[in-house]
Structure 1
Amino acid sequence: MDAPLSKEVKRKQLFSHYWQNDLDPVFTDVASYYDSANQVASLGLWNWFLRHHMDLVETKPGMHALDICAGTNAVGIALLKREPTLEVFAIDRNVAMQTVGRQRAQERGMVIRATIGDVHKLPYPDNHFDIVTLQWASRHLRLDEVFDEVRRVLKPGGHFHHCDMLRPPHPRVAKLYFGYLRFCLNFTAALFRSGEPALNCRKYFIDALDNFYSPEEFSDLLRAHGMVNVVHKSLLAGMIGVHRAQKPL
């Protein structure tokens, strides 16, 4: 079995219970302060990460774009700021996060067509979107299923764009990174008075990242699922990865 695909098997064995049972209550708990907590934890770099993500996105008037695991609609709003004629769709399983996202879009006079649903089985037709995006959620997904769905709904030649926390390839950097994240999880939990669901998943968030991909490994996984012209940018020594990949023509 290819290395990227074998890691997917391991990830499912380790974390399926969390993905199926624990994460929805966590994001319901944190929805109201999700963006603020991430600004604090990233030392003010949260919007900088988004700009790097958007730097790889090319838009044209009237394109169809889908943001999966859309959360508070940060990507959809950024896309519409760049090109207001886009038709932007969003899907997320968590009602509370999408409630915040809908409010954020409405405050800006933007229309994002949101669906509450499972991103492992996208409720959209084949070959429909020019752009599909995924930000800050891939660690919590069965990526072999998600990438097959992404490829299905993309038009031939369409692009997939990804941004997430990844596992730094250098062990010393990873050790420092995980130490900082443990501190941040405890600090933001205290600062924002997180509830029991979020508190109980602090160890999971570190373990999921420790068993995740480096930027280059993530590129290999995209290629293993038939994507081409894969490029990536590593931010902060591989702590954050930004990827672009294309569905073959």
Structure 2
Amino acid sequence: MDFSGKDKATYVQETFNSIAKRYDLMNSLMSFGLDKGWRRKAVQTVEAKPGMKMVDICCGTAQLSLELAMTVGEQGHVTGLDFSENMLGKAKENLATSPYRAIIELRQGDAMNLPFADNSFDGATVGWGLRNLPDLERGVREMVRVVKPGCMVVSLDMAKPTMPGFKQGYWLYFNKLVPLMGKIWAGKGKAYQYLHDSAVEFPAQQELARIFARCGLTDSRYIDLAGGVVAIVCGRKPKNN
């Protein structure tokens, strides 16, 4: 993948800063409006309950953070962390009129070195974020570190469909049409080409589940959505003996 002479972290930060304003619109267009349902499924998988304290890594415009807040309620708390200041700015706009804004804290920070103590949260999510990290396993291990024993770590991200015909059509759509949509609707065709390229290089859902296990999570598994175009990968931090 060509980062134009920059390290991946810098390139990704600049890319997401550039597309922040149209990010939510493009997500809805690219997913044909299915992305909201996928986020709800991720919240179910992380086993969020009223009163819990959750963390959403690479929170972007806070759409997944908001879904978490709707579940944990006014007695709970959600921390959303992202390193793109423009994405966080859009997140603040999204939350400005939300009845859940008081229980969502937005912080700028690095997923490679989370600014939280060990065993701080009742669950951790990351939506379309792991593939942007310069060291995927380190990012997963950081999420494992900050959740309490017995709690879930959940990733929602692009996956790799395997159905013949459908698989080829999907990659054609993602490689050709998505960058064109990004150019038309967001004026950022190159940024959306990166989204395709990062999805190609991202481990398939089966491999990501194995990475979760390697990072210390038990019962690691994946759930295919939309025919395997998107997948939830999850695992549980072992309980203390």
Q: TM-score, normalization: structure 2?
A: 0.88
CA separation in 2, counterparts of 1:58 and 1:148?
Answer: 19
Q: Deviations over 1:165-197 (max 9, x none)?
A: 022345754432221012332332233242xxx
Q: 2:22 aligns with which of 23, 33, 47?
A: 33
Q: 1:222 aligns with which of 196, 212, 226?
A: 212
Matched, 1:208 2:198: yes
Written as runs of structure 1 = structure 2, the 5 A alignment for 1:151-230 is 151-169=144-162, 172-194=165-187, 198-230=188-220
* RMSD after superposition: 2.1
Shift, 1:107, TM fit = 1.0
Q: 1:22 aligns with which of 1, 11, 30?
A: 11
Which fold has the larger relative contact order, with Cα–Cα distance below 8 Å and residues 6 or more apart in sequence?
1
C-alpha change, 1:26 and 1:60, in structure 2 (3 Å) is same
Q: 2:115 aligns with which of 90, 101, 123?
A: 123
Shift, 1:224, TM fit = 0.8
CA separation in 1, counterparts of 2:163 and 2:172?
Answer: 14
Given that 1:53 and 1:162 are in contact with CA atoms closer than 8 Å, whether structure 2 keeps it comes out as: yes
The alignment partner of 1:155 has SS state of: strand
Per mean C-alpha deviation after superposition, the further-off stretch among 51-60 and 170-179 is 170-179
Given that 1:120 and 1:146 are in contact with CA atoms closer than 8 Å, whether structure 2 keeps it comes out as: yes
Q: Deviations over 1:14-43 (max 9, x none)?
A: 879452232222211211111111111112
Residue identity in the other structure for 1:53: A
Given that 1:169 and 1:214 are in contact with CA atoms closer than 8 Å, whether structure 2 keeps it comes out as: no
Q: Deviations over 1:40-59 (max 9, x none)?
A: 11122121222222232322
Given that 1:41 and 1:184 are in contact with CA atoms closer than 8 Å, whether structure 2 keeps it comes out as: no
Shift, 1:156, TM fit = 0.9
CA separation in 1, counterparts of 2:49 and 2:183?
Answer: 44
CA separation in 1, counterparts of 2:179 and 2:65?
Answer: 30
Per mean C-alpha deviation after superposition, the further-off stretch among 178-187 and 158-167 is 178-187
Given that 2:218 and 2:236 are in contact with CA atoms closer than 8 Å, whether structure 1 keeps it comes out as: yes
**Unaligned segments of structure 1, at least 5 residues:** 1-10
Per mean C-alpha deviation after superposition, the further-off stretch among 133-142 and 230-239 is 230-239
Per mean C-alpha deviation after superposition, the further-off stretch among 181-190 and 223-232 is 181-190
Given that 1:230 and 1:244 are in contact with CA atoms closer than 8 Å, whether structure 2 keeps it comes out as: yes
CA separation in 1, counterparts of 2:231 and 2:132?
Answer: 16
Instruction: Report the number of matched residues.
Output: 234
C-alpha change, 1:171 and 1:209, in structure 2 (3 Å) is farther
CA separation in 1, counterparts of 2:164 and 2:157?
Answer: 19
C-alpha change, 1:186 and 1:151, in structure 2 (3 Å) is closer
The alignment partner of 1:158 has SS state of: strand
Residue identity in the other structure for 1:116: Q
**Unaligned segments of structure 2, at least 5 residues:** none
Per mean C-alpha deviation after superposition, the further-off stretch among 222-231 and 55-64 is 55-64
C-alpha change, 1:18 and 1:203, in structure 2 (3 Å) is farther
Residue identity in the other structure for 2:109: G
